[in-house]
Amino acid sequence: MTLKTTLKLSVAAASLAVLAGCASTSALEEVRMTAESAQADAAEARSMASQAMNTANQAQRDARAAMQMSEQNREEMNRMFQRSMQK
């Protein structure tokens, strides 16, 4: 091989290496963007789950209050019935 041919092959190899590096950088950027999107989706899902948990907790508190009121009403009705039976 002559010096000129060796130099041409070296330039071609360097060009391919640069292009391969750009492709790798592009692929890495795409992967990074996908990962950031996944993180954003996960944060949104976490937020929605937290809201759902808060809603469920409020519903449970409301159900307990309704149950307590129901028990109080039943006791009052029983007392009223007892009084009516004593007369």
Look at the chain and report how many structural domains it folds into.
Answer: 1
pLDDT per residue as tens digits for the range 37-62: 999 999 999 999 999 999 999 999 99
* Number of neighbours of residue 79 by Cβ within 10 angstroms: 10
Res. 27: pLDDT tops 70: yes
Q: Could you give the angle at the alpha carbon of 19 between the alpha carbons of 18 and 23, nearest 5°?
A: 120
- What's the domain range around 78? 60-86
Residue 34 within any structural domain of the chain: no
pLDDT confidence bin for 26, thresholds 50/70/90? confident
Residue 5 within any structural domain of the chain: no
Residue 55 within any structural domain of the chain: no
Between residues 84 and 21, the one the model is more confident about: 84
Residue 71 within any structural domain of the chain: yes
pLDDT confidence bin for 3, thresholds 50/70/90? low
In the prediction, which pLDDT does 18 show? 58
Residue 45 within any structural domain of the chain: no
